[in-house]
Structures are given as C-alpha cells and as structure tokens.
Homo-oligomer: A and B are copies of this chain.
Amino acid sequence: MHDSEGPLAGIRVLDLTVIMAGPIATMMLADQGADVIKIEPPQGDLLRKLGHKHQGMSGSFLSCNRSKRSLCVDIKTAAGLEVVKKLATTADVLVQNFRPGAIERMGLGEDVVRAIRPDIIYVSMSGFGESGPYAHQRVYDPVIQAISGLADIQRDRETGQPRMVRTVIPDKTTALTASQTISAALFARERSGKGQHIKLSMFDTMVAYLWPEASSSLSFVGNERDPTVGQLGLDLVFATRDGHITAGAVSDAEWQGMCRAFGREDLLEDPRFASAAARSENVIARRQVMSDEIAKWDRDQILARLDAEGVPNAPVLARTEVIENAQAAHNATIETFDDPELGPIRQPRPAARFSGTPSGIRGAAPDLGAHNTDILTDLGYSLTDIHDLETRDVLWSRRQAARHD
C-alpha cells in the first residue's frame, strides 16, 4: 500500500458511475494519485451486493473501487443535489454512466455543472452512445461482445458456434480507454485552461480495440479479406502429464530448439519442417508432433527443457496459481496490505511503474458513505448540518442502508 504522490496528485474526480467500466476507470486515476470521490445513491453501487464477500465487503466491489473515498447522498433531494453541486465547484473531472438523458433529469447535466465549474472535464460513458437504434437498451457486457465481433472471433473451430469471452472485456477495455482520454484532457487543460466534454461508448470502444489485427483485413475498401480466414487456427495449448502449457516456435532456431527439447533430433532432418514456409504449410502435422511429444513429459520438466533451448514457453496457470507464480513474486505484481477492518487484502498493483511520481494502491474500497463527514466538513458544512442531513435521509451510510434493505 502506498501513500500516493502519483502523476495525478492534486486532481479531484467526482465519480457517479456504478458496476464496472466507470468504477475501474476512476480506480486507475485514484491509484495514480487523484482524489476520487465515489458518489453513491442511498443503497450504494449494486456491485457492493455481488460476488464473494468478506465481512460484508464484496471482492468485486473492492477490486473496482480501491483507493477511493465514498460519499453516499440522495441527489433526488434538493439538499443532496446542493451537496454535489458544491462539491463540483472543487472538482477537475466528473464521470457519469447513467443512461442517456438521465443525468440531465437529475439536474447535473453538463450545462449545469459547467456553469458552476467552467473548466471541468465532464465524461459521459454509455453502452452505445446517446442516440441510434441500440441507445435505449440496458447494456450488459455480453450484448457488446455479441455485436462488436468479439463473439465472432471466439467461434468454435469445429461447430462454428460463436462464443463469449468469460470475463468482461468490453467493460474493462472501456475503463482503460476512459482513463486514457481523461488523462489526455487533463494535460490539454493545463496548456489551454479549458475543460471539455468527453463522450465514450462501449460499442465504439470495442470496435476500435478489436480492429488492429482482428479486423484489419477489412481496411482496404474494395480489397477486403474476410478476417475469419486463417483465424480459426489451433490453440497453442498442450497437455503434459500433469497440466497444460503453451509453447511456440516461429524462427528456425526456435524450432530446432524445440526438437532438441523433445529429444527428437531426428525431426531436424524432416523436410516437412525444414523452413518457416514448410512448417507453415504442414501446420497440422507439426501441431500433432508437438502435441504428442509434449504429452510425454511432466509440465515442469518440459518447460525447463524448452526454456534451456530458447523456446518461448509458459505454463497455463489457474488464477489461484498466478498469485503464487515466481515472476509475479519477482515483479511484486500482486500486493498484500492490511486494512484495519477487513484484515489482509490482496490486489494487483497498477501495472506501470513511474520513476518520478510513484503510483500505487492507497487503500481498500470504502464503506458506503464512509467519508460523508470528511467531505462535507471540507465544504463548510457544520457537524450540526451534517447530522441534520443524515436525519433527513439526504446522507446515507452502510448502517442506514441496511435498515432500509
């Protein structure tokens, strides 16, 4: 855990997003030093209730909302809206992912916010954009996987049945894209003094993300090639006697190393595999040889032999193994830190290492409304005011939400 002076130190972000894409985006900013205030409705982000829990905290919620502060306020009340508007005068960025038109109805549309904070970077994230044939839909991740081409890419090689990827690629990729564009807009504002409105849809994000290599053969109008051609190759996943591995040999040197690793020097003479062109032509036969040979060994044994011969290789790790992996330990890819309430927490650190403005996890995810008092006190509310807002159900906390459950 890290008391961050990251690259975004000094920036305040109001985060009105829920579930995945928005919260992951602002978490990255928080790990990089931004003061991210998660503004939650009375019952909190629905993600608090989903998945594996420990002492009432969801692991998913924690993993999308660490390093933030929580303000739980009912913005459907006049007093609640007033709190958020006061807070907006202190903010550099506001991020929202309500369905099109909703934030305007709540009284926090761009015009309203810009009137009180002229240089704000106002960010609207959506499933499909603000209009068009699909814009009215509630968007679940599989909808975007289906319509963006990702399920097409994952088609079963034998049956042609489209398949989903079993993790929310569209949500996570939209998160990364949002955090990048917010950072670029913050840079631009330093030079121009001007804020702006960034609009981003999951659909546009996924089309752009998949294109390089996955759709790039559609780049020349009038000279397209169907991108499925040649893309349904065999997975480079091989079974050993005690687990799966991947291994690949592209260059001559790597292929020769692979033959030696198998103890099959006789294959060095095989004309079917003598050049890159020949190996490409005989890909099925070669895949079979690799598969047969690798099946004869124990996992760690064959990995060591491949490695000694300079052949790219890796075990297929279960996620429970990833956290114990030697490279992960070497890189400190995963950190463990103590939370006073929750005990020891395990999280991946932000991937990039900044030499000048070190970034890192600043704490577990906050309890619902945990920072109500801190934040309102900073805005000039007295403890009496705050108590009054609690009594009137304008400010909420976990205890209060539980009473209404």
Find A162's partner among B63, B173, B237, B342 (CB 8 Å cutoff): B237
- Whether A373 is near chain B, meaning CB under 8 Å from some CB there, is no
Per-residue interface assignment for chain A, residues 298 to 337, with 1 indicating a CB less than 8 Å from any chain B CB and 0 otherwise = 0000000001001011111111101101111011011010
Q: How far is the CB of A231 from chain B (nearest CB, A)?
A: 6
- Whether A163 is near chain B, meaning CB under 8 Å from some CB there, is yes
| A331 x B201 contact (CB < 8 A) | yes
| A212 x B20 contact (CB < 8 A) | yes
* Chain B positions within 8 Å of A322 at CB level: 147-149, 207, 215
Q: A162-B237, A184-B32 are in contact. Are A172 and B217 (CB under 8 A)?
A: no
Which of chain B's residues has its CB closest to A155's CB? B166
Q: What is the size, in residues, of chain A's interface with B at 8 Å between Cβ atoms?
A: 153
Per-residue interface assignment for chain A, residues 14 to 25, with 1 indicating a CB less than 8 Å from any chain B CB and 0 otherwise = 000000100010
Q: A140-B250, A146-B246 are in contact. Are A7 and B188 (CB under 8 A)?
A: yes
* Chain B positions within 8 Å of A188 at CB level: 7-9, 356-357
| B211 x A63 contact (CB < 8 A) | yes
- Whether A108 is near chain B, meaning CB under 8 Å from some CB there, is no
Q: A7-B187, A212-B24, A235-B163 are in contact. Are A132 and B330 (CB under 8 A)?
A: yes
Question: What separation, in Å, do the CA atoms of A7 and B198 have in the docked complex?
Answer: 11
Stretch of A267-275, A344-352, A376-384 that contacts chain B? A344-352
Which of chain B's residues has its CB closest to A179's CB? B180
Question: What separation, in Å, do the CA atoms of A329 and B136 have in the docked complex?
Answer: 16
Find A164's partner among B235, B239, B353 (CB 8 Å cutoff): B235
* Chain B positions within 8 Å of A201 at CB level: 331, 351
Q: A235-B163, A327-B128 are in contact. Are A51 and B353 (CB under 8 A)?
A: no
Residues 225 to 246 of chain A near chain B (Cβ within 8 Å): 225-228, 231-232, 235-237, 239, 244-246
Question: What separation, in Å, do the CA atoms of A166 and B316 have in the docked complex?
Answer: 16
Which of chain B's residues has its CB closest to A122's CB? B355
In this complex, which of A52, A307, A325 has the most chain B Cβ atoms within 10 angstroms of its Cβ? A52
Residues 21 to 62 of chain A near chain B (Cβ within 8 Å): 24, 27-28, 32, 51-52, 54, 57-60, 62
Which of chain B's residues has its CB closest to A356's CB? B196
- Whether A129 is near chain B, meaning CB under 8 Å from some CB there, is yes
| B146 x A316 contact (CB < 8 A) | yes
* Chain B positions within 8 Å of A166 at CB level: 153-154, 214, 231-232
- Whether A145 is near chain B, meaning CB under 8 Å from some CB there, is yes
| B354 x A147 contact (CB < 8 A) | no
- Whether A165 is near chain B, meaning CB under 8 Å from some CB there, is yes
Question: What separation, in Å, do the CA atoms of A64 and B186 have in the docked complex?
Answer: 25
| A134 x B63 contact (CB < 8 A) | no
| B355 x A198 contact (CB < 8 A) | yes
Question: What separation, in Å, do the CA atoms of A169 and B209 have in the docked complex?
Answer: 9
| A216 x B52 contact (CB < 8 A) | yes
| A143 x B8 contact (CB < 8 A) | no
Question: What separation, in Å, do the CA atoms of A212 and B225 have in the docked complex?
Answer: 36
The 9 closest A-B pairs by CB, nearest first: A196-B356, A132-B330, A183-B183, A7-B188, A221-B344, A190-B190, A52-B217, A63-B216, A180-B180
5 further contact pairs, Cβ within 8 A, besides A147-B317, A152-B319, A218-B320: A153-B165, A154-B165, A161-B239, A200-B352, A203-B331
